[in-house]
Chains A and B, each alone.
Chain A
Amino acid sequence: MALFGQTFVTGILIGGIYAVIAVGMTLIMGVMKIINLAHGALMMVGMYVCLALFKSFGLHPYLGMIPAMIILFGIGWLLQKYSIERVFGVETILPESQVLLTLALGLGITEIIRLIFTSNYQCAYTPFSARCFYLGGMSISQPYLVGFIIAMAFVAALHILLTRTDLGRSVIATAQDRDAATYMGVDAKRITNFTFALGTALAAAGGAMLLPIFYTYPDVWHPYLAKCFIITILGGMGSTVGALSGGLLLGVAETFGATYWSPGYRDVVGLIIFVLVLLFLPGGLKKVIGR
């Protein structure tokens, strides 16, 4: 029973961090209607920015998160404005050419990081990383818990931004109907740039929360990109609540898979959920919970 509780809590905590990364992706997918395969690589860049700040100035990742988010916001804006926007709406033989562009961008960025930081495994190790406290027989790791709390704060802040501010409403309007939003006076291009940049900054925040927990290396993003898709498909495109519930669900499913099946198959659990949801629950949890 302790093992069960431990697994469940760990799943929820890590799921919250997944949710913050995925919420950025679901936002971009909702507004642009394309799959952004550069998202994972941009998260990895966020991790390395935090890592560099930690190594050179001793800045803790939770504080380094802020400059990392600002830098990634800028990178996201530039990438969208000068690269992805160019192929947006261009008719090609394969409509997936935009998806491939984001992928090539992601792989290219990875190589740049590899040139700067090498392929070595690195980490931002602080005494804080290993600390944990006990609650009714379960050990709760501190970086997991703090990461989870910050993640929830971000998701809540984003939700408020989207539902309570003019800027956020413009984002939602563009996601629902780009043309109609344009006719209503929304600068859809600017909003798209903003959305992409914001999504990227959120990915960087997620990366910063992972840094005290896991090692990082240039290819670290592959499984996280897969998790983002799974959560996006599970939660439904463009839905913050969907991404949150999808993230928590995936976190729990994965940790249970790792504990009760085999740690090697941890990632398979998510992939199986992914294909099942695509086939049997198109539209994702968004449809079920009605948001």
Chain B
Amino acid sequence: MAEIKTMAKKSWFLPAILGIVAIAFPPFLGGYFQHLLILMMMWITMATAWNLLGGYTGCVSFGHCVFFGLGAYGGGLLYLHWGISPWWGMIAGPLLAIIAGIPIGLVTFRLRGPYFALSMLALGETFRIVFTNWVSVLGGACGIVSSRTFGVEKLPYYYIALVIAALSVYVVYRLMHSKYGYYFVSIREDQDAAEGLGIPTTRYKMYALIPSALFTGLAGAVYMNYMAYIDPEVVFSLAGISIMMILAVMVGGAGTLGGPILGAVIFVLLNEGIRAAVGPISYLIFMVIACLLIMFLPDGIIGDWAKIKRAFRGKKPVYVGGE
């Protein structure tokens, strides 16, 4: 019992420290660092949301930009057509993402593995093209320009993004420690076996998709309010959003709670942080790192942590049991 208690203490220790740092320090930082932190929180939310469907449930979506883009457009369209404050987008955006997510899930969950991934990719591209071309209703290629409530002040956006990121991590944590979590992982590990255990697999995939779409949409709504500008080529971007969400998760470790957080932080640091220092090569550097990681640590930094530790100690891998 004593062991369990110290473990419980430990598992609260890290989040508590991180939480205090995340709340207390940003006011003392410069605008550029605050900007980086906002992006980090946004990407943590997105990576965590993707990880719920992709990493835990095994439905690798190559088209999550659909939910991000709809999350951004929810507020944007309200502002464009009725001049309503884009803050309503924080409700409208995620709602739109969920409303789109349900039929998308019903159709695409019939497909498995790479075919699911590709059909999501096709949907993402379809949304991008439609939002770029349908000028009268969706604004077209010029996008939507709105206004920033807080002017140049960044802190309010940061705290909103922080709350959403923390909420997404907490929701995923709670889900994964309940029946849902066991069912999600069962579906990932073997869909036929899961059906045989009485798990309605399509319904549970939907239960993973809805929070995933919700939080991706929320991140989109934050983006929309922070940037005060939506460009359909950016928010529905395959290479810029859909793929980056997956790579961030893969770098950190799919199917782990900490993986998406770590991956998102690394991604933002590399993509935005070192861009100032090295210029456009930063994107190439991130791709090289991603390639090397997938080749040598295919389960990500956290997923293959044991492998990393062994490598540093210079010991050969030890297998327990074995076949």
Contacts and interface: CB of A to CB of B under 8 A. Distances in A.
Find out whether A and B make contact in their complex, taking CB atoms under 8 A apart as touching.
yes
A92 B119 contact: no
A222 B119 CA distance: 15
Contacts of B273: none
B294 interface: yes
Interface of A is mostly: helix
B122 A115 contact: no
Contacts of B54: 94
A107 B125 CA distance: 17
A279 B133 contact: no
Interface string B301-319: 0010000000000000000
Q: Which of A95, A107, A230, A265 has the most CB of B within 10 A?
A: A107
A93 B291 contact: no
A97 B250 contact: yes
A101 interface: yes
Given A87-B295, A96-B113, 4 more contacts: A107-B243, A226-B122, A264-B133, A268-B126
A271 interface: yes
A90 B54 CA distance: 19
B194 interface: no
Interface residues of B, number: 44
Given A87-B295, A226-B125, A104 B290 contact: yes
A100 interface: yes
Nearest to B287: A108
Contacts of A99: 114, 117
Interface stretch (B26-34, B172-180, B209-217, B277-285): B277-285
A104 B281 contact: no
B133 A104 contact: no
Contacts of A278: 111, 115, 118-119
Nearest to B126: A271
Given A104-B294, A108-B287, A115-B281, A264 B132 contact: yes
A86 interface: yes
B229 to A, nearest CB: 21
Contact of A279 (B107, B123, B238): B107
Nearest to A219: B239
Interface in A243-267: 262, 264-265, 267
Contacts of A222: 238-239
Given A87-B298, A115-B281, A222-B239, A267 B287 contact: no
List the 9 shortest-distance A-B pairs measured between CB atoms, nearest first: A108-B287, A264-B133, A111-B284, A92-B298, A104-B290, A271-B122, A96-B60, A101-B294, A93-B255
Interface of A: 34-35, 83, 86-87, 90, 92-97, 99-101, 103-105, 107-108, 111-112, 114-115, 219, 222, 226, 229-230, 233, 262, 264-265, 267-268, 271-272, 274-275, 278-279, 282
A272 B239 CA distance: 20
Contacts of B298: 87, 90, 92, 97
A107 B246 contact: no
B110 A97 contact: no
A280 to B, nearest CB: 10
A109 to B, nearest CB: 9
A61 to B, nearest CB: 27
Nearest to B135: A264
A252 B291 CA distance: 37
Nearest to B279: A115
A111 B250 contact: no
B254 interface: yes
Interface of B: 54-55, 58, 60, 107, 110-111, 113-115, 117-119, 121-123, 125-126, 129-130, 132-133, 188, 238-239, 243, 246-247, 250, 254-255, 280-281, 283-284, 287-288, 290-291, 294-295, 298-299, 303
26 contacts: A35-B117, A35-B118, A83-B291, A86-B295, A87-B294, A87-B298, A93-B255, A94-B55, A94-B58, A99-B117, A100-B246, A101-B291, A103-B243, A104-B291, A104-B294, A107-B283, A111-B283, A111-B284, A264-B133, A267-B129, A268-B126, A268-B130, A271-B123, A271-B126, A278-B119, A282-B115
B117 A96 contact: yes
Nearest to B250: A100
A158 B130 CA distance: 37
B125 A267 contact: yes
A226 B126 CA distance: 11
A94 B281 contact: no
Given A229-B118, A233-B118, A275-B119, A100 B113 contact: no
A61 B323 CA distance: 55
A99 B288 CA distance: 15
A279 B116 CA distance: 10
B125 A93 contact: no
Given A100-B246, A104-B291, A226-B125, A93 B254 contact: yes
B55 A108 contact: no
B299 A93 contact: yes
Nearest to B288: A108
A7 to B, nearest CB: 20
Contacts of A108: 284, 287-288, 291
B287 A111 contact: yes
Contacts of A268: 126, 129-130
A112 B285 CA distance: 10
B215 to A, nearest CB: 19
A78 to B, nearest CB: 14
A31 B119 CA distance: 22
Nearest to A94: B254
B283 A275 contact: no
Contacts of A115: 280-281, 284
A278 B123 CA distance: 12
